[in-house]
């Protein structure tokens, strides 16, 4: 199969076009021909060597959708010709996490696309019934790849936040792929949304996607004073921390006493300075949030098919231009998600 492979950690030029054998599916798996694959900030970090457990060379890409072409004998819910989307990880199905519907944090299954498993920058991937859902006709091929990560990650984070209607939520990295959809989802859930972006020219777009207030971050002194003014000095009920290192110090200071932070991402891996006295005195909660579960993805597919959330595809490019997609994302040229489409899907 044709694929874009990461041969060594480094810049965008580390991505190379190659021909490699397609992955082999087991009896409880299926072979999926990939329509396209979303490009996530996680991909940029992986390419840069921040996930050293990734075996090299590897075929990257974890936001995957496609069409089933072969099924193993133990597959009962899917057949060749089905259009499908997958969550990023294939779980084992038997560990405590999987039995509790938390297959997104399984550590004993085949693993994560683009790392332990050959990913969507290749023409084929394997999938299982434990990470795959059917796609309705209402969702086109070039939109389907963003459902699991770009939308599903924010959906999962908001579910973890467990906020009542009318609560105030601050979302950092709001103009990125996860952030822009989290803004839409939070507005759909009846929350008051404060969006933080480092790009002033994206403020109007964020308001159009459901933000009640837009705060420009990245300037000296942070943004917590602006948020305090917006909330009449009270602070926000919750922060979805999507950006991480650049925004965390101000994000913590925006929380009201008894508030909670759901930590979703970190664009610059490393430790954050934090004084625990702040969480003790204000009884703050910090909640980690990984990617969508299989049930989360089912819900995301439904609300997108119903038109309740509009996927933001910033750019559709051929897979052969993966390096350019990475460069454009690093330069923050794109609002929403880049989707890399394989040649057969672009020609369809």
Terminus-to-terminus CA distance in the chain, angstroms? Answer: 18
C-alpha distances in Å from residue 242, one per residue of 42, 214, 285, 289: 12, 15, 16, 10
Please state whether the peptide bond connecting residue 129 to the residue before it is cis, i.e. omega within 30 degrees of 0: no
Task: Label the pairing between strands 29-39 and 63-71.
Answer: antiparallel
- Strands (E) in the chain, as ranges, are 2-6, 15-19, 29-39, 58-59, 63-71, 83-86, 89-90, 111-112, 124-128, 132-134, 168-171, 192-197, 213-216, 236-241, 255-263, 285-288, 313-318, 337-341
Higher pLDDT, 73 or 273: 73
- Strands (E) in 249-307, as ranges, are 255-263, 285-288
pLDDT of 249: 93
Confidence of residue 80 (pLDDT cuts 50, 70, 90): very high
Instruction: Give yes or no for residue 342 having a pLDDT over 80.
Output: yes
The tens digit of pLDDT for each residue in 48-67 reads: 999 878 999 999 999 999 99
The mean per-residue pLDDT over the stretch 23-52 comes to: 95
The mean per-residue pLDDT over the stretch 112-137 comes to: 97
The Cα–Cα gap between 81 and 64 comes to 16
The tens digit of pLDDT for each residue in 197-238 reads: 988 999 999 999 999 999 998 666 699 999 999 999 999 999
The Cα–Cα gap between 105 and 89 comes to 8
Q: What percent of the chain has pLDDT over 90?
A: 90
Mean pLDDT of the chain: 95
The Cα–Cα gap between 141 and 37 comes to 10
Q: Which of 206, 286, 281 is nearest to 238 (CA)?
A: 286
Question: Can you list the domains of the chain with their CATH numbers?
Answer: 2-143+311-347 (3.90.180.10), 151-288 (3.90.180.10)
pLDDT of 219: 65
The Cα–Cα gap between 79 and 69 comes to 8
Count how many residues are written for the chain. 348
Instruction: Give yes or no for residue 348 having a pLDDT over 70.
Output: no
The Cα–Cα gap between 168 and 38 comes to 30
pLDDT of 268: 84
Any alpha helices (H) in 82-240, and if so which ranges? 96-99, 152-161, 177-188, 203-208, 224-230
Confidence of residue 336 (pLDDT cuts 50, 70, 90): confident
Q: Is 75 helix (H, G, I), strand (E, B) or coil?
A: coil
pLDDT of 272: 86
C-alpha distances in Å from residue 87, one per residue of 26, 49, 139, 227: 18, 23, 16, 34
The Cα–Cα gap between 261 and 177 comes to 20
The Cα–Cα gap between 18 and 112 comes to 21
The tens digit of pLDDT for each residue in 271-309 reads: 888 889 999 999 999 999 999 999 999 999 999 999 999
The Cα–Cα gap between 343 and 210 comes to 35
Q: Please state the pTM of the whole predicted model.
A: 0.95
151: exposed, middle or buried (Cβ count in 10 Å: 0-12, 13-18, 19+): buried
The Cα–Cα gap between 273 and 285 comes to 17
The tens digit of pLDDT for each residue in 164-200 reads: 999 999 999 999 999 999 999 999 999 999 999 988 9
């Amino acid at each position: 199969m044709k694929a874009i492979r990461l041969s060594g950690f480094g810049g965008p030029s580390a991505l190379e076009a190659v021909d490699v054998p397609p992955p082999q599916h087991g009896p409880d798996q299926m072979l999926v021909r990939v329509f396209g694959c979303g490009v996530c900030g996680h991909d940029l970090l992986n390419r840069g060597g921040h996930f050293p457990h990734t075996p090299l060379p590897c075929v990257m890409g974890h936001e995957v959708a496609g069409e089933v072409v072969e099924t193993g004998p133990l597959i009962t819910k899917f057949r060749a010709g089905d259009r499908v989307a997958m969550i990023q990880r294939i779980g084992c199905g038997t560990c405590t996490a999987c039995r509790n519907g938390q297959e997104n944090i399984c550590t004993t299954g085949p693993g994560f696309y683009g790392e332990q498993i050959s990913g969507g920058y290749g023409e084929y991937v394997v999938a299982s019934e434990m990470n795959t859902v059917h796609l309705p006709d209402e969702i086109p091929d070039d939109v389907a790849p963003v459902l699991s990560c770009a939308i599903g990650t924010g959906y999962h984070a908001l579910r973890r936040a467990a906020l009542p209607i009318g609560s105030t939520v601050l979302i950092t990295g709001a103009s990125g792929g996860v952030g822009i959809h989290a803004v839409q989802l939070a507005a759909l859930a009846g929350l008051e949304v404060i969006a933080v972006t480092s790009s002033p020219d994206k403020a109007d777009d964020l308001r159009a996607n459901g933000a009640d207030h837009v705060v420009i971050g990245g300037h000296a002194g942070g943004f917590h004073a602006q948020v305090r003014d917006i909330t009449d000095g009270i602070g926000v009920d919750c922060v979805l921390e999507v950006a991480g290192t650049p925004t965390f110090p101000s994000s913590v200071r925006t929380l009201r006493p008894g508030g909670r932070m759901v930590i979703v991402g970190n664009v610059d891996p490393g430790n954050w300075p934090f004084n625990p006295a702040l969480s003790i005195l204000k009884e703050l909660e910090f909640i980690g949030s990984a990617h969508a579960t299989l049930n989360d993805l089912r819900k995301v597919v439904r609300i997108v098919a119903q038109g309740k959330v509009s996927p933001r595809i910033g750019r559709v490019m051929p897979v052969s231009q993966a390096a350019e997609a990475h460069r454009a994302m690093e330069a923050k040229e794109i609002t929403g998600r880049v989707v890399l489409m394989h040649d057969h899907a672009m020609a369809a």
